[in-house]
Structure 1
Amino acid sequence: MAELKTRLQNDLTVAMKARETVTAGALRMALTAVTNEEVSGKQARELSDDEVVKVLAREAKKRKEAAEAFDGAGRAEKAELERQELAVLETYLPKQLDDAELASIVDKAYDAVAAQLGEAPGPKQMGQVMKAVNAEVAGRADGGRVAAAVKAKLTS
């Protein structure tokens, strides 16, 4: 079993015993999402730690979007609950890259694609640059941020 999934299960037990309802609720939802991912498809399988991190990142994104939606609807108490659950999930995710680190990775990928092509890549090669950047970033930055950084580099 993936170490991260085991850690989630152990932390859920601790949170339940300590009666930490927000933490327990967030971990339950995360473990449910992991289990659903394991049994999706034609055959059940066990997720690796990297796959569990992807599931957790997806769940964190859902919490962030839900908090924004609740704020927009004037439901501050529900938005705060979503933010608390997001904070719990973020403790299990890798540290997010800051803008300078992301720009550095984009620059390296841009140079690698330029070397492959023999010319400076343009907007048509965004997919190639994104593929190289995503391999390096691996869940440490939101896809929208990555795409914006790549697009800015290609159009400059």
Structure 2
Amino acid sequence: MREQLAECLKSALKAKDARRTSTVRLIQAAIKDRDIANRGAGKDPVDDDGIKQILAKMIKQREESAKIYEENGRPELAAQEREEIAVINGFLPEQISEEKVRELCAEVIRETGAQGLRDMGKVMNVLKERYPGQIDFAKASGVVKELLK
């Protein structure tokens, strides 16, 4: 995935695509920050699943920012955030549909033997491990909560 980001940066630089260039650089900086934090904690550098989690977090941050910008009458800044979301989404696998998310949640609940809301963390950890970047975990937690009641 790191190679894919490097290639994308090269092509964006050649095409003089400022938005894509800056977004890919932001992604690479976030990955480098996590690598440095991991090194300090004695862990390995971030793998592809870790990169997907970083990207999902970046998308969530930008969605929140775009919403705030729109609420405060700054549509040009909201549009900029959405452009960055589109670039970041290009590196993530396709999102799983809501119906499929419901099925996956029910399957993981059966597998883990979760009984009530106190087991929700266990279920969410399995989902995050298996489907990084493919599921909106905020929505998935609502589904899990509903199924565990």
Q: Which runs of 5+ in 2 are unaligned?
A: none
Matches within 5 A, 1:47-62: 47-62=46-61
Identity rate of aligned residues, in percent?
25
Query: Residue in 1 aligned with 2:91?
Result: 92
Query: Residue in 1 aligned with 2:30?
Result: 33
Shift of residue 133, structure 1, vs aligned partner: 3.1
Structure 1 range deviating more: 104-113 or 126-135: 126-135
Work out the number of aligned pairs and report it.
147
Q: TM-score, normalised by structure 1?
A: 0.85
Query: Residue in 2 aligned with 1:22?
Result: 19
Q: Quick one: which of 131, 146, 149 aligns to 1:152? A: 146
1:136 and 1:11 map into 2 onto residues whose CA distance is 26
Matched residue of 2:31: which SS?
Answer: helix
Asked if 1:8 corresponds to 2:5, the answer is yes
Which structure has the bigger radius of gyration?
Answer: 1
Query: Residue in 1 aligned with 2:135?
Result: 141
2:2 and 2:70 map into 1 onto residues whose CA distance is 31
Asked if 1:69 corresponds to 2:63, the answer is no
Asked whether the equivalents of residues 67 and 80 of structure 1 are also in contact (C-alpha less than 8 Å), the reply is yes
Q: Which runs of 5+ in 1 are unaligned?
A: none
RMSD between superposed Cα atoms in Å: 1.8
Closer/same/farther in 2, CA of residues 104 and 78 from structure 1, 3 Å limit: same
Asked whether the equivalents of residues 67 and 78 of structure 1 are also in contact (C-alpha less than 8 Å), the reply is yes
Closer/same/farther in 2, CA of residues 74 and 96 from structure 1, 3 Å limit: same
Q: What is the identity, as a one-letter code, of the residue corresponding to 1:46?
A: P
Shift of residue 109, structure 1, vs aligned partner: 1.6
Asked whether the equivalents of residues 55 and 133 of structure 2 are also in contact (C-alpha less than 8 Å), the reply is no
Q: What is the identity, as a one-letter code, of the residue corresponding to 1:54?
A: Q
Closer/same/farther in 2, CA of residues 46 and 136 from structure 1, 3 Å limit: closer
2:93 and 2:119 map into 1 onto residues whose CA distance is 28
